[in-house]
Structure formats: structure tokens, C-alpha cells
Amino acid sequence: MTKKTDVVIIGGGINGCSLAYQLAKQDIDVMLLERQHLCSGGTGRCGAGIRQQWSTKENAELAIQSVKIFEQLDKELNAEIGLRQGGYLIAIHDEKELKQAEKNVALQKSLGLQVSVIGPDEIQKIVPILDIKGMRAIAATFCPTDGHADPFKTTDAYAQAARRHGAKLQTYTKVTGIKKKKNTIECVVTNKGKIKTSTVINAAGPHSKEIAEMINIKLPIKPLRKEILVTERVQPLFKPMVISFTDGIYFSQQEGGQILGGISNPNEKNGYFSDPTFFFLQHMAQTLLRYAPSLNTVNVIRQWTGYYDMTPDARPILGEVKGVSGFLQCNGFSGHGFMLSPMVTKLLTEYIVDGKTSEILHNLSLDRFTDKNIEKEAYVVG
Ligand SMILES: Cc1cc2nc3c(=O)[nH]c(=O)nc-3n(C[C@H](O)[C@H](O)[C@H](O)COP(=O)(O)OP(=O)(O)OC[C@H]3O[C@@H](n4cnc5c(N)ncnc54)[C@H](O)[C@@H]3O)c2cc1C
């Protein structure tokens, strides 16, 4: 293993691989360390939905800019990432949600997004299988350019492009320590030896908390189990992702015909509990059939679990932390790290290469948690 590099990235998910590509493209000597195989964390377990409809300006901006990057990524990386833009339809169940939705839509429109509040007739037209009464919707918001991509294909495309530009991606290499001298990084310690470096990017998903603790930095991240399932293939029925924050449900139909979706468990505790539950299967099936009764004969073929890396305001932690020069965060995505990754990693790369900082990096830095009045992201399937 190389003993010295400019930048070490910890974590081989979508963010680590995208960072490796972008930095290597700028001729930065970069090494990515992944304790298992690429995509073995949240990235390989996610729905890979891509949504630009957010309540906070930073998330909306990151997502809108990311979609622009996703739209040309096949060409840029010379690979197929499986992007499908069928839209996101967010159910609105009462007047309070309607008010919040109108506020969000105004913000999103001010950032240039094509999005609108629609009534029951329009909902039915866009997703004919929905039972408007059963789902208890009074309206919805709809953005036609939202969608999803294939998380494995996208990560692999970044990883291959990174390697073509000279990045070293070292799998089955676990980071066990970070050493610093005064306030600067000296080296990263792994189960396969030490690597001298002055810059470390912590992109280890929920395990970013343990990584930061290696140099006494406290990240307010909690792992939260999330469950998800996929059904057998059925004929094409609808294109958008349907989502409700009240019911905590989301579901879409994949290109191959499978229905993919999840639902939150209101009693879920923080921690690393990897077993799938029967409660999830039952709760998901009951709620899904309330939304789309005609799916009642469709068989579930697989369910699995993964973790969100939750922060107190459900927004990512980005950029250099105060007190340790060269230690950058790219974590705390709270369930949205796939869709935000293109723009997040672009901003971090610009910071490392040119020292260019931005309002988003500033507003999403670790420092914000000292402010008791931080704005929380409201649009989260928690
Ligand atoms: C069920 C579910 C559904 C989701 N749906 C969506 C969605 O629709 N849209 C969306 O945008 N996001 C979604 N997410 C969230 C998304 O999966 C994550 O935010 C995103 O994949 C995070 O990517 P990452 O690269 O930051 O981290 P990860 O993919 O978690 O990668 C971190 C990597 O770090 C490695 N690592 C940890 N510790 C060490 C160590 N000590 N040394 C070396 N390597 C280490 C891990 O093995 C892992 O591979 C979902 C998540 C789940 C669980």
C-alpha cells in the first residue's frame, strides 16, 4: 500500500467515490480507504431517490444543482447510471401541511425549480393507482424532474472514473486511528499500515462519528435503522415516487416493474440493529394498500435494512472542522446522501483544490450546532 498521499478519503460509498473522482481529476494524489467493499454502507442499501423538494434552502440548492450534474453524468463518466426522472409526488393531508408545502414551493421556485401544488384530480391523473380517499390526501406537490438512479451503477461509474484519473481505491482496509501533530493531520492508521497525509475526508456514513472521535472531535450523529422492501415485477403502473411525511411512507416503481419502498417505524431507537422486522413488513403492506389497494396481490420478494446517519437538524455536516486543519466532514446526510452527493462533493473538492468556500459549506459546518435555533429540515421521512 502507498505510504504517502495528499488526501485520504475514508469510506467507499457514493460520497467517497465521487470525491475520489473529482479530486483525482484535478490532479490531486488521493487514496480512498474502505473497510469492506464499495457500496457496503448506506449507498448499497438505499432507494436512491432524487428529490429537489426541500424545506431548507441549503438542501434545496444542493439537490437542484445535483440534478443538473446527474443529468449529464452518463456522458461525463462514460457509463450508465440508471437515471429516471419520473417526478416526486408529496402527499398533503391537512391544512397545516398545505401551508408548509406552499412555503416550500415558493422557496423551491425562487431557486428555479419547476414544482407546483396540485389537487386530487391531478394526483389521480399522475398516479392512477392511488386511492385519494384511502391515502387521506387533500392535495400534493409535484416536481417532474425528481426521480431516482441506480446506486451501484452510479458509485461504480465514479469509482472507475476515479481510477482512470489515478486515484487509489483500497478496499478491505479499515481505518483504526488518525494521528495529528498539534493542529494538523500527520497520518491515518489502518489494519494494513500507516499512510502519511495532511488531509482527511470523513465520508464513513454513520461511522463518521467514531472516525472523528479518533482525534477527539464530537459529531452529533446517531445511526438510525431504516427498512426497505422490493416486490416482484409487475406491469408498468406509475412513474413518480409517492411520499408522505405524515405516514412516513415512500414508494416508486422501478424500470423493471418492481415496487420499491419503505416506511418509518415511529418506535425505532437509535443504534446499530441490523435485523429486518416483521413489524415493518406488516406496517408497510397495510399502509401501501391504503394508498394503492390494487397492489394487494403483489408479492414482496426481499426486505433489508440500512442506517441513516441522523443529525439534530437532519442536514449534512460538511467542510473543515475548527481546531484540526485538514480534517473535513462529508457525513450526517440523514437519509439524503445519495441525491445530494454530486454537488456536496463538488463544493468540497473546490475547497480542497482552490480554498474556495461557499455559503452552503459555511451554513452546514459542524459549528452550526452551537446555535440553539438551528433551522431543521422539515421534509424528512424520519
Ligand atoms: C433504507 C434506506 C433508504 C435510503 N433512501 C435514500 C434515497 O432514496 N435517496 C437518498 O439520497 N438517500 C437515501 N438513503 C441515504 C443514503 O443511502 C446515504 O445518505 C448515502 O448512501 C450515504 O453515502 P456515503 O457515501 O456518505 O456513506 P456510505 O454509503 O454509508 O459509505 C460509508 C462507507 O464507510 C465505510 N467505513 C465505515 N467505517 C470505516 C472505517 N473505519 N474504515 C474504512 N471504511 C469505513 C463503510 O463500510 C461504508 O461503505 C437511504 C438510506 C437507507 C438506509
Domain interval for residue 126 = 88-144+222-310
Span from the CA of 155 to the centroid of ligand 1 (angstroms): 11
The 10s digit of each residue's pLDDT in 192-225 is: 999 999 999 999 999 999 999 999 999 999 999 9
* Ligand 1 in reach of 333 Cβ (< 6 A): yes
Ligand 1 atom 25, closest CA: 13
DSSP H/E element including 228: strand 222-233
For each of the chain's 382 residues, which pLDDT tens digit applies?
A: 669 999 999 999 999 999 999 999 999 999 999 999 999 999 999 999 999 999 999 999 999 999 999 999 999 999 999 999 999 999 999 999 999 999 999 999 999 999 999 999 999 999 999 999 999 999 999 999 999 999 999 999 999 999 999 999 999 999 999 999 999 999 999 999 999 999 999 999 999 999 999 999 999 999 999 999 999 999 999 999 999 999 999 999 999 999 999 999 989 989 999 999 999 999 999 999 999 999 999 999 999 999 999 999 999 999 999 999 999 999 999 999 999 999 999 999 999 999 999 999 999 999 999 988 899 999 998 7
* Ligand 1 in reach of 13 Cβ (< 6 A): yes
Render 289-347 in DSSP notation, one character per residue: HHH-GGGTTPPEEEEEEEEEEE-TTSS-EEEEPTTSBTEEEEE--TT-HHHHHHHHHHH
* Ligand 1 in reach of 92 Cβ (< 6 A): no
Q: Is 305 found in the same domain as 159? A: no
* Ligand 1 in reach of 205 Cβ (< 6 A): yes
Domain count, the chain: 2
* Ligand 1 in reach of 327 Cβ (< 6 A): no
CA distances from 123 to 55, 120, 146, 281 (A): 21, 5, 16, 26
Atom number in ligand 1 closest to CA 307: 53
Is the pTM above the cut of 0.95? yes
Q: Note whether residue 379 is domain-resident.
A: no
Name residue 64's amino acid: I
Q: Is 302 found in the same domain as 238? A: yes
Q: Give the burial string for 314-336 (b: 16+ CB within 10 Å, else e).
A: bbbbbbbbeebebbbbbbbbbbb
* Ligand 1 in reach of 223 Cβ (< 6 A): no
Q: Please identify, among 295, 310, 325, the residue that sits at the C-terminal boundary of a domain.
A: 310
**What is the grid cell recorded at 243?**
411520499
Atom number in ligand 1 closest to CA 228: 1
Q: Is 299 found in the same domain as 263? A: yes
Name residue 71's amino acid: E
**What is the grid cell recorded at 325?**
486543519
CATH code, domain carrying 198? 3.50.50.60
Span from the CA of 41 to the centroid of ligand 1 (angstroms): 5
Ligand 1 atom 22, closest CA: 337
Q: Note whether residue 75 is domain-resident.
A: no
Ligand 1 atom 52, closest CA: 46
Q: Note whether residue 78 is domain-resident.
A: no
Q: Is 298 found in the same domain as 192? A: no
